[in-house]
C-alpha cells in the first residue's frame, strides 16, 4: 500500500523498553534480594514511557502498519561503506583523537563553508560526536548552569528537554503557530529575560517539517544579540529541504557566528542511522566546555566510521543534495491520498515529516493521541500524535 512505501516520513526513532527504577529479584542461588532503596535519578526515573514505545507496542498487538517507527528506504553511498571497511585494516584501531580524526574535521569545515556559507577553522572549531544527540547532550551540559532559562520551540525533539533539565535548566517553551508553524514573534520576545542563557533552534524542524524563514531567523538573531543569548542550532536536516524552501543557518547571520554552535548528522545526511556520527561546529570559546562534556560522556567516536563520513562529505554530495527532491516526490504522492480521505495536510518543506489535521475525525472527548490509538486498532495504521512532542 501507499503507507508501506512511506514509513520514513514520520520518524527515525527506535524504541526500547527499560525496567522500572525499583525492582526485586533473586540471585543465581534463588535467594530473594532487594534493589537498593535509596532513590535513583528523579528526572530519568520519572520520565513517562515514550509515545513511540506505546504506539509501537500497540501496532504489534494489532498487526498495524506502523508509520511512527521508520527508517530510510535506501542505504547511503556504497563508497562510504568501502572507505569505512578499508579503514579498519589500513589504520590502527586504538583511541582516535577526542575531537575527531583530522580527515573528518577538515571535511566538516569544508562542508560548512561550501553549503552554509560559514567559514570554520577545523583545528579549533569542530568536534565529532556520537550522533547529533550526543552533541545535544554535550551542549546542554557544557553551556548551562543551574537555573538558566532555555527557550525551545514547541513541538520539539524530546531529547532537548530531558538533557536541558538534567543540566539544571528551566524550559521556556514557545509554541509554533498553526496552520503553518510560523514563529509567534511577540510571544518569542516575551520569553526572553535576564535569565535566558540559550535558545534551541531546529531547522528544518522535527516534527513539523517547517523550514524557518530568513525573516524569522533574523528576528531570532536580533533577540539573541539584544539579550546576550547563545543559540544551539540543530541543523541535522539541512539537506532535506524541498518545495521551494531554502535552508538558512542562524549562525550565518550577522552577529551570530560567535554566539552559536551548529549540529550536523551523518545519519540524516547519508541515511546511515546506525553509524551514529555527528558533529558540532562553533567558536572555540563555546566549544571548550562542550568538548569537556563530550570527553566524559563518550570520549571519542569510531575512527573507521569517521573516515567513511569524511569521504562522503567530500565526494558524495550528489547523494545528500538529492534527498530533498526525493522526499518532495514522496510527499506529493502521499499527501493527495490523505486529502482524499479527509485529512487536512499542514504545510511542510523539510525533513521526513508530514503532519495531518485529524480534527474532523475526532469523537467527543477524544484528542489526537486517543485518535491514533483508535486508528491503530480499527484502521490498521499507526501514527504518532504530535501533541506528545509538546511541553
Mean pLDDT of 199-215: 97
Task: Output 13 or 271, whichever has higher pLDDT.
Answer: 271
User: Using N-to-C axis directions, what is the helix angle for 102-111 and 303-315, rounded to 10°?
Assistant: 30
Q: Measured between alpha carbons, how far is 19 from 202 in angstroms, rounded to an integer?
A: 32
| pLDDT-derived band at 67, boundaries 50, 70, 90 | confident
Range in 3-7, 310-314, 320-324, 347-351 with the lowest mean pLDDT: 3-7
pLDDT at 159 over 80: yes
pLDDT band at 15 (very low <50, low <70, confident <90, very high): very low
Higher-confidence residue of 9 and 252: namely: 252
**Polymer length in residues for the chain:** 391
pLDDT band at residue 8 under the 50/70/90 scheme: very low
Whether the predicted pLDDT of 28 surpasses 70: no
Q: What whole-number distance in Å separates Cα of residue 294 and Cα of residue 274?
A: 20
pLDDT at 24 over 50: yes
pLDDT beyond 70 at 153:
yes
Is the pLDDT at 36 greater than 80? The verdict is yes
The residues with which 152 forms a beta bridge, in sequence order, are: 173, 200
- Calculate the dihedral angle through the C-alpha atoms of 103, 105, 110, 116, rounding to the nearest 10 degrees: 150
Give the per-residue pLDDT at 247. 98
Angle separating helix axes 284-297 and 131-143, nearest 10 degrees: 110
Q: Which residues contact 359 (CB under 8 A, 6 or more apart)?
A: 344
> Rounded to the nearest 5°, which phi and psi values hold at 151?
-90, 130
Amino acid at each position: 500500500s501507499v503507507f508501506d512505501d512511506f514509513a520514513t516520513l514520520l520518524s527515525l526513532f527506535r524504541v526500547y523498553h527499560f525496567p522500572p527504577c525499583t525492582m526485586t529479584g533473586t540471585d543465581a542461588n534463588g535467594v530473594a534480594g532487594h534493589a537498593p532503596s535509596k532513590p535513583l535519578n528523579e528526572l530519568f526515573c520519572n520520565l513517562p514511557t515514550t509515545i513511540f514505545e506505546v504506539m509501537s507496542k500497540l501496532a504489534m498487538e494489532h498487526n498495524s502498519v506502523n508509520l511512527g517507527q521508520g527508517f530510510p528506504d535506501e542505504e547511503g553511498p556504497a563508497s562510504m561503506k568501502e572507505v569505512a571497511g578499508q579503514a579498519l585494516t589500513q589504520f590502527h584501531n586504538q583511541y582516535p583523537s577526542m575531537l575527531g580524526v583530522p580527515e573528518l574535521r577538515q571535511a566538516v569545515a569544508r562542508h560548512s563553508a561550501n553549503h552554509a556559507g560559514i567559514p570554520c577553522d577545523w583545528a579549533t572549531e569542530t568536534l565529532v560526536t556520537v550522533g547529533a544527540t550526543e552533541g545535544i547532550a554535550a551542549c546542554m551540559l557544557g553551556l548551562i548552569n543551574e537555573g538558566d532559562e532555555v527557550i525551545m520551540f514547541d513541538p520539539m525533539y524530546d531529547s532537548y528537554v530531558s538533557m536541558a533539565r538534567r543540566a539544571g535548566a528551566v524550559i521556556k517553551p514557545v509554541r509554533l503557530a498553526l496552520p503553518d508553524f510560523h514563529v509567534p514573534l511577540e510571544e518569542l520576545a516575551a520569553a526572553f529575560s535576564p535569565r535566558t542563557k540559550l535558545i534551541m533552534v531546529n531547522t528544518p524542524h522535527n516534527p513539523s517539517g517547517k523550514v524557518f524563514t530568513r525573516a524569522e531567523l533574523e528576528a531570532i538573531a536580533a533577540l539573541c544579540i539584544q539579550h546576550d543569548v547563545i543559540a544551539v542550532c540543530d541543523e541535522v536536516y539541512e539537506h532535506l529541504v524541498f518545495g521551494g524552501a531554502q535552508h538558512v543557518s542562524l549562525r550565518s547571520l550577522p552577529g551570530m557566528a560567535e554566539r552559536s554552535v551548529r549540529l550536523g548528522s551523518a545519519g540524516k545526511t547519508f541515511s546511515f542511522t546506525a553509524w551514529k556520527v555527528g558533529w558540532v561546529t562553533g567558536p572555540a570559546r563555546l566549544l571548550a566546555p562542550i568538548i569537556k562534556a563530550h570527553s566524559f560522556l563518550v570520549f571519542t567516536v569510531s575512527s573507521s566510521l569517521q573516515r567513511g563520513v569524511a569521504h562522503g562529505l567530500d565526494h558524495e554530495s550528489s547523494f545528500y543534495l538529492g534527498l530533498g527532491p526525493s522526499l518532495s516526490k514522496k510527499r506529493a504522492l502521499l499527501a493527495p491520498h490523505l486529502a482524499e480521505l479527509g485529512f487536512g495536510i499542514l504545510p511542510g518543506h523539510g525533513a521526513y515529516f508530514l503532519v495531518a489535521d485529524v480534527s474532523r475525525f475526532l469523537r467527543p472527548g477524544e484528542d489526537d493521541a486517543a485518535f491514533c490509538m483508535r486508528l491503530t486498532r480499527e484502521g490498521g495504521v499507526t501514527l504518532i500524535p504530535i501533541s506528545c512532542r509538546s511541553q
